[in-house]
Structure 1
Amino acid sequence: MATSPTAHSGTLPVREPLRLRLRNPTGAEHVDGAWWPQSRDLQAEAADLVDNFPPEAGQVDRLLFSRPDWDSPTVGGRGVSRIRARRGWVQAGSFASDDTHLMVLSVASGRRLRLVVVPSDTDPVEAARRVHAAGGLELERDDEADLARWDDEHPSS
């Protein structure tokens, strides 16, 4: 019997509050914010994001991640397909060729949020600058094409 690839990991002993900045929506050409995870552990960080995502922004139903941002983005040669959050499993996906360094969230309202992932080992001053600057970033056209694939293809292969 085949099983879906999932991320499994131990929990981190001490967690800081979610390091996230969301901006007001202004159009498809911009990112919606930035996220500075505390490690490169996909399971721990994605679960933290889902569990502590601001309720006024919506409940996260699905994640699309960029594999180069994480130490273990695959299980058994396939992309991680779900993340264990406090409320249960959340669907996840990735494309092997995706190097956008974005975490794309689908929330219950149907809205899709694109977050720039600031590497966890970034100097705190530089990370704060990147998180603050993320509100004005524009996506490259190739990034838009990668995001459009999510509607047409099944990530995680």
Structure 2
Amino acid sequence: MTTATAPSSPASSPAGPPDAGHLRLRLTEHQGHDHLDGGWWPRSRDLSVELRELVDGFPPDRGRIVRVLYSPPAWENRPTRSLPVAAGQVKVGFFPHDDTHLVHLTMTDRSVWLLAVVPPEFSDGHGEEALLAAATPGNHHDASDLLHTVEGEAASIVADHWAAGV
């Protein structure tokens, strides 16, 4: 499952370079089967703005987000307890003293999506590669290792590299 466009686009559309203002998100086909369930590439470090886009643009066929837990060091303008979104309010919390480059999204059915957070300053090639790696079935990398690997590699790594558990 790949989503790299605005919510009006079909959730199964192939990912190309996203246009400005569109959610940069890739999700695995089957949530909960791998180390990560996908990746999210926000455009800035303003968590309040970026979370609204993520929550409001999350593919409705995958559920509705009711709570977000995040890793605080990389974010500015962090909401304290809740965030107003199009569907009402989303509860917000953080992992103290944590820098795992993750967000945990709790859905209405209580399932949890674990997404790698790609730094906004990644180049287009590295950002797309990190999204691909996080959403590739069989991924065994945690978010921090995945991002360090992508940063150190050429942006043309093939998808097989990620599925092999390297």
**Aligned Cα root-mean-square deviation (Å):** 2.0
Measure, in 2, the Cα distance between the counterparts of 1:137 and 1:118: 17
CA deviation map 1:6-48 (0-9, x unaligned) = xxxxxxxx95211000002364651100000011111000011
- How many residue pairs match? The answer is 122
Pair 1:113 & 2:116 matched: no
Alignment match, 2:124: 124
- Give the secondary structure class of the aligned counterpart of 1:98: coil
Answer whether contact 1:63 1:92 (CA < 8 A) is retained: yes
3-state SS of 2:106 partner: strand
- Partners of 2:140 and 2:47 in 1: CA distance: 24
Tell me the secondary structure at the aligned position of residue 72 of structure 1.
coil
**Equivalent residue for 1:100?**
100
Q: 1:86 to 1:15 in 2, by over 3 A?
A: farther
* Normalised TM-score (structure 2): 0.67
Which portions of structure 1, spanning 4 or more consecutive aligned residues, are displaced by more than 4 angstroms?
Answer: 26-29
- RCO higher in 1 or 2 (8 Å CA, sep ≥ 6)? 1
Question: Of 17, 36, 45, which aligns to 1:40?
Answer: 45
1:113 Cα deviation from its structure 2 partner: 0.2
- Superposed counterparts of 1:129-140, under 5 Å: 129-135=129-135, 136-139=139-142
Aligned counterpart, 2:69: 64
The separation in 1 between residues aligned to 2:28 and 2:88, in whole angstroms, is 27
Is 2:28 the partner of 1:23? yes
Contact 1:81 1:93 in 2 (8 A): yes
Question: What letter corresponds to residue 119 of structure 2 in structure 1?
Answer: P
Secondary structure of 1:68's counterpart equals helix
Residue 124 (structure 1) shift: 0.9
Which TM-score applies when normalising by structure 1?
0.71
SS at match of 2:131: helix
